[in-house]
Structure 1
Amino acid sequence: MSLDPFTLPDWFDYGATFLFAIAGTLLALRKDYDIVGVCTVAFAGSVGGGLLRDGLFLQQGPPSITTNGNYLILILLGALIGIAFQQLMPRLQLLIDIVDALCLGAYAVVGCDKAILAGMALPAVVLVGIVNAVGGGILRDILIREEPLIFRPGQFYVAVALVGCLTFVILSSFSSINHFEAGLFTIFITFTLRALAIRFNWQTSSLAYRPPKVAAHSNDS
């Protein structure tokens, strides 16, 4: 097994941060937030997963977004552009959906890879990968006082991230291919599954037990 780390190209990481900051901004604007609220939601939605990964699990020094000022600049720029052009931003929804599908796998891989290199047990590696992939959305929804979207029945999302994490862990830990090749294959698999879930509306369902309704019988007089 190769322990060479999997790293995303800077242009991909920066571009995803910028677009997710815009997406968070639009959500905050629909809540009528001011500039502080907008920037906070944009920050959480774009880099929240990395903050949870580094702060809760890895604890290997300051989170990466605080050691590279480019992230904060891009988040602020995304928030300002989202505010200035909010009427035109809905046209970017398809692009945001495509980038989100790519990032779901990419950030799952990054989280798993960092956890493996930190010496974590494989179940914990999968957990860190999922948190890195979807944690930003959870923080964003909590900040705007909404039930996290991923907790409710809906299109496959966390399930796709789980498949991606398991794929990467199996390939990188039990095969001869290196982490970079395993990461690329995982991103392809997760992007494909997420695209199919959107296309065919594959959804999860509630696990709550609902007793069958008993039809009411009217009494004839």
Structure 2
Amino acid sequence: MTVALLFILLDAVGTFVFGLSGAMVAMRRRFDIFGILVLAVATGVAGGMVRDLLLGSTPPDALRTVWPLAIASLAGVCVFFFKPLIERLNRPVMLLDAIGLGIFAVAGCRKALLYGLDAPGAVLLGVISAVGGGVLRDIMATEVPRVLHEDIYALAALAGAAAYAGCLWFGVQDSIAAVGAVIFAVGLRLASVRFGWHLPHPPK
């Protein structure tokens, strides 16, 4: 598998799982089918659109072809018809969010590097790509964005993007670096929830 194909697949999977997480939130808020699709699409493509606009890659990839919107919409339809199956997962929104977070952190970082950004800027753009969809989803569902109150969230995206950039700097093969960094980011996010890791909070 070529690196380009790997990242096409990662983008598709990230869009789909973020779409699932957005649709799950919409279902819990008792949105109708249109609202479910809107939240699925917004969650699935928002991070990538922000990334592309900041890079000057216009129109964004989500508007160049039908596939990102179609994949996110398919995720919304799947949740509408198969929500009971998805809910068999332990905390499905958190799990899906973690997967999308790791994928988009690495994909966003890679695209920024390809556009000539230095590693610090590319890592930052990877974080923005990863959290953008979740932030918009939570705002549209009138919830406090997870990035503001779930400690190891943006930090997990930062760690994944930095791990990817660091692996490339040390000469690790691109595809191996990408897969490893995604697994690292997802694992860190899931472990933080499982073990209750958090950053220091100010005293009351």
Please indicate the TM-score interval, normalised by the length of the shorter structure. 0.7 to 0.9
The counterpart of 2:34, out of the listed 33, 36, 42, is: 36
Give the structure 2 partner of residue 132 of structure 1. 129
Q: CA deviation at 1:7?
A: 5.4
Count of residues paired in the alignment: 203
Give the structure 2 partner of residue 187 of structure 1. 182
The counterpart of 2:194, out of the listed 194, 199, 206, is: 199
SS at match of 2:87: helix
Q: Is the 8 A contact 1:137 1:148 kept in 2?
A: yes
The counterpart of 1:158, out of the listed 131, 154, 159, is: 154
Q: CA RMSD for the aligned pairs?
A: 2.6
SS at match of 1:85: helix
The counterpart of 1:24, out of the listed 22, 25, 41, is: 22
- 5+ long unaligned stretches in structure 1: 211-221
Q: CA deviation at 1:99?
A: 4.9
Give the whole-Å Cα distance in 1 for the aligned partners of 2:85 and 2:106. 33
Give the structure 1 partner of residue 45 of structure 2. 47
Q: Is the 8 A contact 2:21 2:40 kept in 1?
A: yes
> Against the structure 1 CA distance between its residues 190 and 88, is the aligned structure 2 distance closer, same or farther, given a 3 Å change threshold?
closer
Give the whole-Å Cα distance in 2 for the aligned partners of 1:176 and 1:134. 28
Give the structure 2 partner of residue 142 of structure 1. 139
Q: Is the 8 A contact 2:17 2:99 kept in 1?
A: no
Give the number of the structure whose alpha-carbon radius of gyration is greater: 1
Give runs of aligned pairs for residues 56-205 of structure 1, distance below 5 A. Answer: 57-93=54-90, 97-152=94-149, 154-172=150-168, 174-205=169-200
1:44-88 deviations in Å (ceiling 9; x for gaps): 112221111112x11222222222322222222222232233344
Give the whole-Å Cα distance in 2 for the aligned partners of 1:180 and 1:61. 26
Q: Which has the higher contact order (CA 8 A, sep 6+)?
A: 1
Q: CA deviation at 1:128?
A: 0.4
In the superposition, the TM-score normalised over structure 2's length comes to 0.83
Give the whole-Å Cα distance in 2 for the aligned partners of 1:67 and 1:30. 32
> Against the structure 1 CA distance between its residues 96 and 11, is the aligned structure 2 distance closer, same or farther, given a 3 Å change threshold?
farther
Give the whole-Å Cα distance in 1 for the aligned partners of 2:33 and 2:92. 25
In the superposition, the TM-score normalised over structure 1's length comes to 0.78
Q: CA deviation at 1:30?
A: 2.3
> Against the structure 1 CA distance between its residues 179 and 147, is the aligned structure 2 distance closer, same or farther, given a 3 Å change threshold?
same
> Against the structure 1 CA distance between its residues 25 and 128, is the aligned structure 2 distance closer, same or farther, given a 3 Å change threshold?
same
> Against the structure 1 CA distance between its residues 61 and 203, is the aligned structure 2 distance closer, same or farther, given a 3 Å change threshold?
same
Q: Is the 8 A contact 2:14 2:104 kept in 1?
A: no
> Against the structure 1 CA distance between its residues 140 and 165, is the aligned structure 2 distance closer, same or farther, given a 3 Å change threshold?
same
Matched residue type, 2:163: T
Give the whole-Å Cα distance in 2 for the aligned partners of 1:11 and 1:166. 21
Q: CA deviation at 1:131?
A: 0.9
- Higher helix content, 1 or 2: 2
